[in-house]
Structure 1
Amino acid sequence: MAVQSRRPPVFEAVRLDLRRLHEHWMELFFPRQRGAHSVLGKWRPSTSAGWAAYRGLGGVGALVVALLYPLVLIGFATRFHTRRIDRAAAGLGLLGVVSLTAVVWGTLAAVAHLQLSRQGFVAVAAAAVVATVAAGLAVSFARTGGRGTTVALAYPAAMTAIFLPPVVAALFSTTVGSVVLPGSTTLAIRLLDGPLALVGLDGYLRENYTLEGIAYVGMWLGIAVPLGWFSGCVVTLADLVRP
């Protein structure tokens, strides 16, 4: 008896993802491209010029899909973690999230009060307050807004709540600073030599700014907002391909 070979489940999942992503691309230009329509079926052009445009955009779409699919995979991984956070936030409620954030970063401020100067304590306490407010705003935006509000506002607010207090504490604590600041400097060099150089911003930043003191806070705020937008976009892309 001949044994029928079957494709691995992972291969089938990837194939289905690529097909769905290509169908979404094609539907930007042509009607009824996604899936099977029981009554009308998938739209096809009826003229030679229409077929030429259809095939041409289909070929461009294949390239777009090849470039976007790695982002889809990142979106799957990001969505897994964000959904766990969403479930935890839903269980805690807005007040619970704000209270938990206040306890976590308030503990950091209390440690700063015992070990740092008055200036350091005030700075860390202010950062803790901002982070707590940002956490509350992230939950509020995610609950009351649509997808656009969640991506544009909720994700950056959540990233700010995570990054801000440790970076501020690193400016006044040698223990925290020995971990955060060297890593921040290495990351800044990679960004300047990499993506920022591609868009021509590396020279301007090197000439006008020095990475010291409050500049570390500005750097991480500058990272938190785009990183939030990126995370929201890749999760949206993952939802589009595999709801």
Structure 2
Amino acid sequence: MAAGSRTASSQPGVIDGIRYDLVRMHETWMELFFPRQRSEGSSVLGKWQPKTAREKLTYNSWRLIGAPVIGLLYPLVLFGYLLRFQSRRIDYTAAKLGKIGVFALFLLLWGGLTAVARVRFTPAGFFAVGAASGVAVFSALLALLFRSLGGRLTTVVFAYPFAMTAIFLPPVVAALYSPTLAAAIFPRSQTIAIWILDNPLSFLDLGEYLRRTYDLRGVAYAGMWFGLAVPVGWVLGVLVTLADLVRPKPTSTDEDDDE
């Protein structure tokens, strides 16, 4: 009974949260062209309302256009909430470890992979994994540096792509010399590459040009993931930013209470 009552009592909270998000998104949409649309309004003048027939037509038309746009964006906002939660956990851990601790963690992680490559791979494989691991460790430090500088634009443009490079590059390079890793990474990489070529890069036949010009094999896998680190980092950063715009981060006092 207690568990059931907790579930029932949590539903209004979820519904209220969704309602708050949708209202805030709609108000933000309206403020792209009309002043003072926020209901919590900081202005003593109150919420702006159209008066003339032309203003009413424009206002209502823009409001109707916003409904499907918000419906399409809201799932991305929900995903952004999840990413923001995970990024906060990472930020909290990084703050506890400090720059030296983060450096030591990535050095231990990818240094261990390099040590395995020294035993299991050919000399060429060992040097390739070692180079990729060095790039990854350096990228982790750059991600932490840009994150510590603060600023939404700096974090999205630089910190997230460097973080993606630090995570993905070494295992992809190691997969070039390990059949076990190759069986896990390369088929998924091919699936992702096909989707990218057939969808985002189909514009102006860019996907067909890349198919004719390049073959996805060997070091091309590493190049693919190194290249994807930037747009993937940007997408993740934009989703987190979108979540912050819809539901701003709580104050430090609130976060301390959550802890």
TM-score, normalization by structure 1: 0.92
Q: CA deviation at 1:36?
A: 2.8
Aligned residue for 1:210? Answer: 215
Deviation at 1:198, TM superposition (A): 5.4
- Identify the residue that residue 150 of structure 2 maps to in structure 1: 145
Tell me which amino acid in the other structure corresponds to 1:53.
Answer: T
**Counterpart residue number, 1:224:** 229
- Which residue in 1 is equivalent to 2:39? 35
Give the corresponding residue for 2:61: 56
Give, in angstroms, the shift of residue 8 of structure 1.
3.1
Q: Indicate yes or no: 2:28 matched with 1:24.
A: yes
Q: Aligned partners of 2:134, 2:198: CA distance in 1, in Å? A: 34
Q: Where does structure 1 lack aligned partners over 5 or more consecutive residues?
A: 1-5
Contact map agreement 1:131 1:160 (CA 8 A) in 2: yes
| Match of residue 3 from structure 1 | none
Give the alignment partner of residue 124 of structure 1, picking from 111, 124, 129: 129
Secondary structure of 2:40's partner? coil
What's the counterpart of residue 15 of structure 1? 19
Shift of 1:201: 2.4
When residues 198 and 11 of structure 1 are mapped into structure 2, their CA distance, relative to the original with a 3 A threshold, is farther
CA displacement at 1:62 relative to structure 2: 1.5
Displacement of 1:88 in angstroms is: 0.5
Aligned residues: 238
Task: Tell me the equivalent position of 1:196.
Answer: 201
Taking the aligned partners of 2:78 and 2:185, their CA distance within structure 1 comes to: 29
- Alignment of 1:159 with 2:158, yes or no, is no
Amino acid at match of 1:76: Y
Verify the 8 A CA contact 1:106 1:128 in the aligned structure 2: yes
Match of 1:240 among 239, 245, 257: 245
Paired with 2:25 and 2:88, the residues of 1 have a C-alpha distance of: 22
- Aligned with 1:32: secondary structure? coil
Question: If the length of structure 2 is used for normalisation, what is the TM-score?
Answer: 0.87
Unmatched tracts of structure 2, length 5 or more: 1-8, 249-259
CA contact 1:73–1:238 (8 Å) conserved in 2: yes
Q: CA deviation at 1:146?
A: 0.5
Identity over aligned pairs, percent: 55
Q: CA deviation at 1:199?
A: 6.0
Match of 2:254 in 1: none
- Tell me, in whole angstroms, the C-alpha distance in 2 between the residues paired with 1:78 and 1:163: 17
- Provide the secondary structure at the position in 1 that maps to 2:66: helix
- Alignment pair present for 1:169 and 2:174: yes
Post-superposition shift, 1:26? Answer: 1.1
The answer to whether the Cα contact below 8 Å between 1:36 and 1:42 also exists between their aligned partners in 2 is: no
Q: Distance in 2 between matches of 1:117 and 1:37?
A: 65
Residues 116-171 of structure 1, C-alpha deviations (whole Å, 9 max, x = no match) = 11111111011011000110111111110310010111011100100000000111
Residues 93-119 of structure 1 deviation map (CA, whole Å, 9 limit, x = unaligned): 122111211110000001101111111
Aligned partners of 2:220, 2:40: CA distance in 1, in Å? 54
Distance 1:181 1:37 in 2: 52
- Specify which of 182, 186, 192 is matched with residue 191 of structure 2: 186
Moved over 6 A (4+): none
* RMSD across aligned positions (CA): 1.7
CA contact (8 A) 1:135 1:158 kept: yes
Amino acid at match of 1:60: I
